Structure 1
Amino acid sequence: MQHCVPKHAALLESQYRALEEFILSARRLLVLTGAGLSTESGIPDYRSEGVGLYDRTKHRPIQHMEFMTDSQARRRYWARNYIGFPVFISKVPNTAHKILAEMEKSHQIDWLVTQNVDRLHQKAGSNKVTELHGTTNIVACQTCNYVTDRESFQRFMHTSNKEFTADIINVTPDADAEIDVELIKKFNTPLCPDCGSDLLKPQVVFFGSNVVKEKVAHCYDKLHRCDKILVAGSSLQVMSGYRFLLEANRTQKPIAVLNIGETRGDHLANVKVTARCGEFFERYKTLNL
């Protein structure tokens, strides 16, 4: 799994102590997680040097408008996702996911907001979770009310693509897989079994789209109820997550950031730890759980 983890230095004692004290002194801690938390499970992130999708390949995630308006883009998306999903779904929670779940059970975490779509927090046992960008685990028709789980949808796609196979060139962070573009022409785009539309989409916020207002409001409500916020494994480059740090700063709530590299919110942080998430949480568990 280390092939997805960026180069990093060992956890400094002074940084560990500062973040440990930050967490232990919180009455209601909100945690915001990002792709850096799942790299230790073998799911790459987008932006890390050397291992992130943007650094390894020219491939970029599909844009919302492209998916919604271009039937060929949908064919390309589902062909790649069909090949990539078995690899994606096989990933398991790592140490950080598991310890965050334990912290919830011991009432050290009030709520968790994740920018990830991999459901690894729930697999680890976390229940108080908001999936800010949705989940790959649900597929919904954009024309009618048809909804299904992703594993059932995989079997559904297989019925019309029994001979379709492809070698994976690159795995991406959202169940996508880079494959030979010529093979995509052989893939049969799935059609909604209820209305026949090909506008079937995972319940994920694609790039170029927005998180629904109700979910944003819910996250703001959790933020306003907390007394501290911890960011774990996010560069905060996307505004959908960064806005919560801006609000925490505006309302004078202490902020801690745990991430291997620099983040957009470092200048707002009261505590910054430059280390692998798993390394910090492994030690934290030993001393405090």
Structure 2
Amino acid sequence: MPADARPSPILKAPTYQQRTWTLPDDAVVRRGTVDDAARVLRGLTFTALTGAGVSTDSGIPDYRSPDAPPRNPMTYQQFVGDEAFRRHYWARNHVGWQHVRRTRPNGGHRALAALEDRGLVRGVITQNVDLLHEEAGSRKVIDLHGRSDRVVCLQCGRVISRAHLADRLTALNPHFLDEVVGGVRSVTDVEVAPDADAVIEQTAHFRPAPCEFCGGVLKPEIVYFGESVPRERVARAYAMVDDAGALLVAGTSLTVMSGLRFVRHAAKAGKPVVIVNRGETRGDPLATVKVDAGVTETLTALTALLTAR
């Protein structure tokens, strides 16, 4: 930075506000237990649609549970349109990545993988980008919103691994982690969002890495708010719903249409819909049964019931 240049101002969290919703007063919600869910799904194959609530027991906070703090994710328009926002994002992500890359699957992930092994789950459509379903052993996974382990250049289209970018960012900012969180070992004390966005404010001096092939802008290979899911991916997800006899929804409030459309699609086709989520979801009126309980314990118990001889 030239001696007479002023550092960029510290950016606060983006002001983008997510939509809010409430269930209509006359909505009929068919609440039930894990036994009720098992009775609905027994004898059927089903596709699983999962959200951030599946990964909370792995140490990745969600966006919209009753206890989740308010979050304002950066939009696609902010990221591509403002260099200062990109610097802010990559600084926070560089901290959050240290935590997210160390997370491991929990019992809920393993339960869905076990159900796939038994031929009951046709596949998983996940709104998460943490790849914990794959790590748990699920083989048929559609990462609806992308993957946190890859980065794409918006100019030349080259794709690199997030781990490789982490090495480059550390080389460009050798003391950043120590200055912000006192070293990697204490990064778990920093609030981290599902997309590895860590809540830190001192980011103005962070140096993002350009594409090493063309110098273009690097972006995580994930779908941002304000960005569309690729049509081909959506088509594959619809086909996965059509290929099963029922839909199991776990750990998502279905606030955004990205996931809700598959619930509507299944219900319109006359397929049973089972929702497991702590708190209301936008799809509750369409559910055959709604289990308002923790995801890990419910999926574990459901797997035991469905695979019992």
TM value normalised by structure 1: 0.89
Residue from 164, 169, 180 that aligns with 1:152? 164
User: Does the CA-based 8 Å contact 1:31-1:231 persist in structure 2?
Assistant: yes
Alignment partner of 1:213 is 2:231: yes
In 2: Cα distance, 1:140 partner to 1:85 partner:
16
Task: Please name the residue that 1:70 is paired with.
Answer: 82
1:128 and 2:140 equivalent?
yes
Secondary structure in 2 matching 1:117: coil
Asked if residue 239 in structure 1 is aligned to residue 260 in structure 2, the reply is no
Mean CA deviation greater in 155-164 or 260-269: 155-164
1:87 pairs, out of 91, 99, 110, with 99
Q: What is the root-mean-square deviation of aligned Cα atoms in Å?
A: 1.5
Q: Give, in whole Å, the separation in 2 of the partners of 1:79 and 1:208.
A: 21
Aligned to 1:192: 211
Give distance in 1, aligned partners of 2:58 and 2:176. 28
Residue 178 of structure 1 aligns with which residue? Answer: 199
Aligned match for 1:30, one of 47, 56, 59: 47
Does 2:198 align with 1:202? no
Alpha-carbon deviation of 1:22?
Answer: 2.1
Counterpart of 1:170 in 2: which secondary structure? coil
Q: How does 1:158-169 map to 2 (within 5 A)?
A: 158-165=170-177, 166-167=180-181, 169=190
After superposition, the C-alpha distances for 1:168-216 in whole angstroms (9 at most, x for unaligned) are 642112111011x2x312211111100112x100111001111011111
Aligned residues: 268
| 1:87 Cα offset (Å) | 0.6
- Contact 1:44/1:53 (<8 A) preserved: no
Task: Check 1:244–1:206 CA distance in 2 against 1; reply closer, same or farther (3 A cut).
Answer: same
1:258, 1:277 within 8 Å by CA — same for their partners in 2? yes
Structure 2 distance, partners of 1:128, 1:286, is 21
Assess if the C-alpha contact under 8 Å between 2:129 and 2:222 holds in 1: yes
> CA shift at 1:280, angstroms?
1.5
- Structure 1's unaligned 5+ residue stretches are 1-13
Which residue identity lines up with residue 232 of structure 1 in the other structure?
A: A
Give the corresponding residue for 2:153: 141
Partner of 2:280: 262
| Distance in 2 between residues matched to 1:232 and 1:242, nearest whole Å | 12
Question: In structure 1, how many angstroms separate the alpha carbons of the residues matched to 2:112 and 2:69?
Answer: 26
Per-residue deviation, residues 102-126 of structure 1 (Å, max 9, x unmatched):
1111111011100011111011011
* 1:19 aligned to which of 28, 37, 42: 37
Match of 1:5 in 2: none
- Does the 8 A contact of 2:211 with 2:218 survive in 1? yes
- Highest RCO, 1 vs 2 (Cα 8 Å, sep ≥ 6): 2
Task: Give the letter for the 2:77 counterpart.
Answer: M
Find out whether 1:42 has 2:66 as its counterpart: no
Structure 2 distance, partners of 1:146, 1:157, is: 18
What is the distance in 1 between the residues matched to 2:131 and 2:173?
Answer: 26
Contact 1:29 1:226 in 2 (8 A): yes
Distance 1:178 1:120, change over 3 A: same
Q: Which amino acid aligns with 2:206?
A: F
TM-score (norm 2): 0.83
Amino acid at match of 2:237: C
SS in 2 for 1:272: strand
SS, match of residue 79 in structure 2: helix
8 Å contact 2:66–2:279 — kept in the other structure?
Answer: no
Secondary structure of the 1:110 match is: strand
Displacement of 1:23: 2.4
